[in-house]
Amino acid sequence: MTESRLARVLRSGRFAVTAELNPPDSADPQAVYNRALVLAEVCDAINATDAAGANVHMSSVGVCALLTRAGYEPVMQVSCRDRNRIAIQGDLLGAAAMGVKNVLCLTGDGVQVGDQPQAKPVFDLDSIGLLKLARTLRDEARFLSGRPLDEPPHFFLGAVANPFAPPFDFRPLRLAKKIQAGAQFVQTQYCFDLNMLKEFMARARDLGLHERAYLLIGVGPLRSAKAAEWMRANIPGVHIPEAIIRRLRGVPEGRQRLEGKRICVEIIQALRQMEGVHGVHLMAYRQEELVAEIIDEAGLLPRRRHNRDNRGGRARPSPSPTEA
């Protein structure tokens, strides 16, 4: 079985771009295809989130089924919050059977931060336990029970990191544990503070983490100063310096969205020059239309192109001349 396209891009040394698909509150597959088309034109892989923020949307497995059917490259996010190890192992095998090759392992936000805090959390595993589980399926061709698999999945395994949340000294050590558990690529929380990231990356390089896993830094456009303040106050783990909010406030309200995009482009350009950074993970919540503009203005094109056909929103991959 061939390795994932995301893995090939990273192993080739190219600066990778992944992006999150905001899953619809709908059973209409066309809603997924419409959002995926915007992202696939400029990204190497598309993340299917797993009830992010403990808010229910179309499932990660469902979104991945649609993406693989359309010929796109998904990253399936798997959270430990809602399923035990029995369900997770079944989902991973099902995803592999559908053609999913990239899996991002998360512990998951607590139910108290979502819109259904009365839900009962599971947390049978944490992200490190989940990485070990997925690696056992892949490398040892067996379930955690010891029962053998007839055919193992072939996953490119990922983890998340947050360089901007205390305790700061612990974050590189936590990442090292995830890499030891099996993480081959890492996607971080939003980066709006380059100085903090530089400190994290210096420590990561000291530990040799950039040579053991591919690090993709999270970025995203801010709609406005008001939206930035809301994110800082309400989304766990998001750090937005006051200087960024002052910069947004310093332009007329009607131009703050453009300024937020400009800030994102500047951060990406700075990340391209930072040793140990292998790519970016773009999170543009309800702003998918800006993704192509950001990637273009940051100088990260050309990338892979997709041509739509007339079969229910599907697409045929058409590699660019530079694709390996």
Q: Tell me, what DSSP letter sits at residue 120?
A: P
Helices and strands counted in the chain (H then E):
11, 10
Nearest one of 273, 175, 263 to 219, comparing CA atoms: 263
Amino acid, res. 7: A
pLDDT per residue of the chain (324 residues) written in tens, 0 to 9: 689 999 999 999 999 999 999 899 999 999 999 999 989 989 999 999 998 888 899 999 999 999 999 999 999 999 999 999 999 999 999 999 999 999 999 999 889 888 999 999 999 999 999 999 999 999 999 999 999 999 999 999 999 999 999 999 999 999 999 999 999 999 999 999 999 999 999 999 999 999 999 999 999 999 999 999 999 998 888 999 999 999 999 999 999 999 999 999 999 999 999 999 999 999 998 788 899 999 999 999 876 544 343 334 433 333 332 333
Nearest one of 2, 84, 18, 4 to 303, comparing CA atoms: 18
Judged by DSSP in three states, 103 sits in strand
pTM of the model: 0.91
Please tell me the distance from the alpha carbon of residue 244 to that of residue 254, in angstroms, as a whole number: 17
Please tell me the distance from the alpha carbon of residue 119 to that of residue 117, in angstroms, as a whole number: 5
Q: Is 286 exposed, middle or buried (0-12, 13-18, 19+ CB in 10 A)?
A: exposed
Amino acid, res. 25: D
Please tell me the distance from the alpha carbon of residue 82 to that of residue 180, in angstroms, as a whole number: 25
H-only helix segments in 238-319: 242-249, 256-272, 291-297
Please tell me the distance from the alpha carbon of residue 74 to that of residue 103, in angstroms, as a whole number: 9
All structural domains of the chain with their residue ranges: 5-298
- CATH number at 5-298: 3.20.20.220
CB 214 within 8 A of CB 262: no
